[in-house]
Amino acid sequence: MIHLKNLDKQYKNGDQTLHVLNDIHLKIEENEFVAIMGPSGSGKSTLMNMIGCLDQPTSGEYLLHGTDVASQPEKELAKVRNAQIGFVFQQFHLLPKLSAMMNVELPLIYGGIKKKERKERARLALEKVGLEDRVNHLPNQLSGGQKQRVAIARALINEPSLILADEPTGALDSKSGTQIMELFTQLHHEGATLIMVTHEQEVADYARRIVTVRDGEIIKDRGHENVVPR
Ligand code: ADP
Ligand code: ADP
């Protein structure tokens, strides 16, 4: 499903070149649950940005469902992101003045879906994450764990083939963090493909596979091919 080949990412700063990702080779199959670990500054976010089509590599190939997306223009990448990828962030990134339901509906508004269908799908997504009794709450009326569940419902609303989460438990207490990881585990068992960045070993241990990055290179890939049968 995901195939990165010889992927490099460099940043130019005056006459200096920073090699942030160096000859990355990575294959991720459908229905894998992968954690990406590594020290701060090792290139994890940059790698996630590549996989999420938020940024383009300096060189190398990125095949997503067999299509080379590495060289596509931003307009095409935006389409790929919208149709295929759900994003979950450490700080939730919810719009504060919109209800839980409206936040979840947003990707459907961008997709031109009619109101009745939007409401119905948003309600189902919120039900799925256990928030059916919080649909009209504003983000500041929700706990951190509940906000993250709203964000996950939003990530799921377009039925993406891939869910990317950058430190999804980083802003949560350990109990809420555990609930979020149990939700990801449930999504994984239902067939989702999940890739998450985390600093925390106990969070990474929910994943079937742990990829370790250091200085822009993959130095360890544990649990590869250990995919749960559907
Ligand atoms: P991590 O997520 O592992 O902390 P990052 O991918 O954020 O690592 O960053 C890796 C390195 O790349 C860091 O040295 C960071 O400062 C640098 N970097 C990231 N994005 C940019 C950018 N847009 N321009 C210049 N340097 C960047
Ligand atoms: P986090 O680690 O919480 O994801 P960072 O502070 O590493 O956040 O990076 C936030 C954003 O800033 C990232 O999208 C990254 O690409 C960008 N960035 C990181 N380091 C640099 C840098 N040295 N120069 C320019 N942009 C950077």
Ligand 2 pocket, residue 185 CB under 6 Å? no
Name the token pair of 142: 């929700």
Q: For position 223, what pLDDT does the model report?
A: 83
Name the token pair of 135: 């649909």
pLDDT of 227 above 60: no
For residue 87, what are the β-bridge partners? 164
Residues with CB under 6 A from ligand 1: 11, 18, 20, 38, 40-46
Ligand 2 pocket, residue 45 CB under 6 Å? yes
Tokens 């585990």, located at residue: 185
pTM: 0.87
Name the token pair of 143: 């706990």
| 110-153 pLDDT per residue, tens | 889 999 999 999 999 999 999 999 999 999 999 999 999 999 99
* Mean per-residue pLDDT over the chain, rounded: 93
- Residue identifier of the C-alpha nearest atom 13 of ligand 1: 41
Q: How far is the CA of 49 from the centre of ligand 2 (A)?
A: 11
CB-facing half-sphere around the CA of 91: CA atoms within 13 A: 3
Q: How far is the CA of 216 from the centre of ligand 1 (A)?
A: 10
| 73-91 pLDDT per residue, tens | 999 999 899 889 999 999 9
Helix, strand, or coil (residue 213): strand
Q: How far apart are CA 175 and CA 193, in angstroms?
A: 24
The DSSP call for residue 54 is S
Complex ipTM > 0.90: no
